[in-house]
């Protein structure tokens, strides 16, 4: 049983991919990281010796710290953060426990470089509809919570990517794009190694809406309708993205927790 300053693997797994997910810090030594260079989804690396550099940024947030086994390194790093007023817990059992639970882990050799602020920068065509909202949602919920998304004219995506060291996505002839009958959302799930049941369900809905394949999932038409509605509600692409984050949060929670639940009228009478 986890102690008062620890969080279990199962409890953290329930938070990953949701707006309530804490900031997750990987404080493994370089040697331990090299032995298994994968991250808990949404985590970013920080030397345990330098964690107090983050205190001001993290104050007032919930933080989960993990090392290889959840012992001295993460315990010490979390304790240091708590002395600076940060709500820091340790992942019980560390990265080994997460790995042994066979939970998704991010393949780091696919991560784009970070800017001077420690965030990834992505660029795509402006006026997003489906894939260009779904992918930023996936990036921010499972890869890099601080990711910066740039929406620019279609003709300038590659130029902006080159000049601003951004990673282009959902345009032709780039790595992060459609492949065959799948869409960019599928590509990111596969390349980052984060596939699990809920994301598989959601990916089918996104693919169906994005490629006009409404036979792939009954929910496809609903996502298409909501996405087109959002695109007409917002003139500013970033405002649309923020609204879209909530939309995909809802679809993800349905895909994870509510696929067997229905709704009817009148409500079924409670059994005596």
Lowest-confidence region among 97-101, 197-201, 266-270: 266-270
pLDDT for 270 beyond 70: no
pLDDT for 267 beyond 90: no
Asked if 7 contacts 91 with a C-beta cutoff of 8 angstroms, the reply is: yes
Between residues 2 and 119, which one has the greater pLDDT? 119
pLDDT band at residue 12 using 50, 70 and 90 as cut-offs: very high
pLDDT band at residue 1 using 50, 70 and 90 as cut-offs: low
22: region left, alpha or beta (phi > 0 left; psi from -120 to 50 alpha): beta
The answer to whether the bond into 122 is cis (omega within 30° of 0) is: no
The rounded percent of the chain whose pLDDT value lies above 90 is 95
pLDDT for 3 beyond 80: no
3-state secondary structure the chain: CCCCCEECHHHHHHHCCCCCCCEEEECCCHHHHHHCCEECCCCEECCHHHHHHHHHHHCCCEEEEECCCCCHHHHHHHHHHHHCCCEEEEECCHHHHHHHCCCCCEEHHHCCCECCCCCEEEEEECCCCCHHHHHHHHHHHHHCCCCEEEEECHHHHHHHHHHCCCEEECCCCCCECCECCECHHHHHHHHHCCCCHHHHHHHHHHHHHHCCCCCCCCCHHHHHHHHHHHHHHCCCHHHHHHHHHHHHHHHHHHHHHCCCCCCCCCCCCCCC
From the CB of residue 89, how many other CB atoms can be counted at a distance below 10 Å?
A: 23
Contacts for 258-262: CB closer than 8 Å, 24+ residues apart: 259/201
Q: What class is the 6-107 domain?
A: alpha beta
In the predicted model, what is the mean pLDDT of residues 108-124? 95
pLDDT band at residue 99 using 50, 70 and 90 as cut-offs: very high
pLDDT for 17 beyond 70: yes
Any idea where the domains of the chain sit in the sequence? 6-107, 111-257
In the predicted model, what is the mean pLDDT of residues 149-160? 98
Confidence (pLDDT) at 173: 96
**Torsion 55-56-62-68 (CA) sign:** negative
Encode pLDDT of 22-64 as tens digits. 999 999 999 999 999 999 999 999 999 999 999 999 999 999 9
From the CB of residue 249, how many other CB atoms can be counted at a distance below 10 Å?
A: 16
Phi, psi dihedral angles at 264 (to 5 degrees): -145, 170
pLDDT for 266 beyond 90: no
pLDDT band at residue 223 using 50, 70 and 90 as cut-offs: very high
d(CA 186, CA 213): 15
Confidence (pLDDT) at 102: 97
pTM confidence score: 0.95
pLDDT averaged over every residue in the chain = 96
In the predicted model, what is the mean pLDDT of residues 174-188? 98
pLDDT band at residue 144 using 50, 70 and 90 as cut-offs: very high
């Amino acid at each position: 049983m986890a102690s008062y300053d620890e969080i279990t693997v199962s409890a953290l797994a329930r938070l990953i991919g949701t707006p309530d997910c804490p900031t997750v810090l990987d404080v493994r030594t370089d040697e331990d990281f090299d032995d298994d260079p994968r991250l808990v989804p949404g985590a970013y690396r920080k030397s345990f010796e330098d964690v107090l550099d983050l205190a001001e940024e993290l104050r007032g947030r919930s933080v989960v710290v993990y090392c290889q086994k959840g012992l001295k390194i993460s315990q010490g790093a979390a304790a240091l953060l708590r002395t600076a007023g940060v709500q820091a817990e340790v992942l019980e059992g560390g990265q080994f426990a997460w790995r042994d639970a066979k939970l998704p882990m991010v393949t780091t050799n696919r991560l784009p470089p970070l800017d001077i602020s420690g965030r990834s920068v992505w660029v795509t065509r402006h006026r997003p509809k489906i894939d260009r909202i779904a992918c930023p949602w996936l990036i921010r919920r499972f890869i890099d919570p601080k990711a910066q998304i740039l929406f620019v004219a279609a003709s300038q995506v590659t130029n902006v990517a080159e000049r601003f060291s951004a990673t282009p996505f959902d345009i032709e002839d780039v790595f992060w794009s459609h492949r065959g009958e799948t869409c960019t959302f599928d590509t990111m799930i596969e390349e980052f190694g984060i596939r699990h049941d809920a994301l598989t369900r959601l990916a089918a809905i996104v693919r169906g809406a994005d490629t006009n394949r409404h036979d792939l999932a009954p929910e496809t038409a609903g996502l298409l309708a909501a996405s087109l509605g959002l695109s007409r509600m917002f003139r500013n692409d970033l405002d649309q993205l923020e609204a879209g984050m909530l939309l995909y949060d809802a679809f993800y929670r349905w895909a994870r927790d509510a696929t067997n639940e229905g709704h009817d009228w009148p409500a079924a009478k409670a059994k005596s």
